[in-house]
Amino acid sequence: MQILEESYEEEFALVGIYTNLEDYALAYALNESLRLHLRKAETDLVFSSEVIYPYFEWKDEMYDREWSLLINSCITTHQSASGNLFPEEPSFSNHLLVPEYKEVNFLLKVEPEALDAELLLKIKSIPKVIAAYVIETTKLKSKHNLIF
């Protein structure tokens, strides 16, 4: 029996994190607070030659769980079109991995059974984390961006 690729849906839980920490600093703080071992992934999530999302990952062998810390935005630059008042000035575009949650800086992707109230409280207690909350993945239009 063959499983159709379209019918396969990866199950995961998602925590949106709003903070002004840099990605490496948040990964370090999550490692300390949650006893994780997040490391920068060897390859980035690449959607085009300009839209690239670096991320951190860890495979918890003891519980057979995967953890990923993703940056929700990618800023690209382009030269302004000719005819502009300042043609040498570059313009910027912000590409969101999960556009439904533009206020979220980071996404923590975990196995559903790893997400509980204690995990959320520990994330919220990290200094400089302004907000952290569960994102309902079943209603997410951009869920396909998080399946890798």
Q: Where are the domains of the chain?
A: 9-146
Distance CA(32)–CA(35), nearest Å, equals 5
How far CA 71 is from CA of 64, 68, 108, 109, in Å, comes to: 24, 10, 9, 11
pTM: 0.83
Interval 38-51: pLDDT, tens: 999 998 888 877 78
12: its two tokens = 């995961």
For residue 57, pLDDT over 70 is answered with: yes
For residue 3, pLDDT over 70 is answered with: no
Which residue type sits at 115?
A: L
Over residues 98-103, mean pLDDT? 94
Pairwise pLDDT comparison (107 vs 82), residue with the higher score: 107
Protein fold of 9-146: TATA-Binding Protein (3.30.310)
The answer to whether 137 touches 13, Cβ cutoff 8 Å, is: yes
**Where does the pLDDT of residue 86 fall: very low under 50, low under 70, confident under 90, or very high at 90 and above?**
low
